[in-house]
Amino acid sequence: MTDQVDNWHKLARYDTNMQGELHANLLRNNGITVSLQPLSAMPGMNSGIVLWIQDTKLAHAKRILDSIDTEGATPYEMFDEGAENGASATVHPTKNDDHNDNHDGDL
């Protein structure tokens, strides 16, 4: 009989709860049991979080977290990509150059 309380190891610490919860869900989706320890005693405070993993899954969990591409674009950067390329959401009407549309070239 083993004491399962002693089988948990600190895997990672995150500055924001959201980042820690995202990584915890990634591990859970891969069949790894994760325990979350908020770094604030007050609910709703975004002071960070620690992920704890059982020792039998520690190496597997480290491999999964190490495989995350942190150098790629964030979702916010992907949405802002058009702005960087000079694209604009504002529509600027221009003169219609097709004179055969019965509008004499106007909009």
| pLDDT tens figures, 4-41 | 667 999 999 999 889 999 999 999 999 999 999 999 87
| CATH number assigned to the domain comprising residue 62 | 3.30.70.790
| pLDDT tens figures, 60-97 | 999 999 998 767 655 555 455 554 555 444 444 444 44
Range of the domain at 35: 4-70
- Report if residue 19 sits inside a domain: yes
SS (H, E, C) 39-101: CCCCCCCCCCEEEEEEHHHHHHHHHHHHCCCCCCCCHHHHHCHHHHCCCCCCCCCCCCCCCCC
- Report if residue 81 sits inside a domain: no
pTM exceeding the 0.75 threshold for the entire prediction: no
- Report if residue 52 sits inside a domain: yes
- Report if residue 107 sits inside a domain: no
- Report if residue 95 sits inside a domain: no
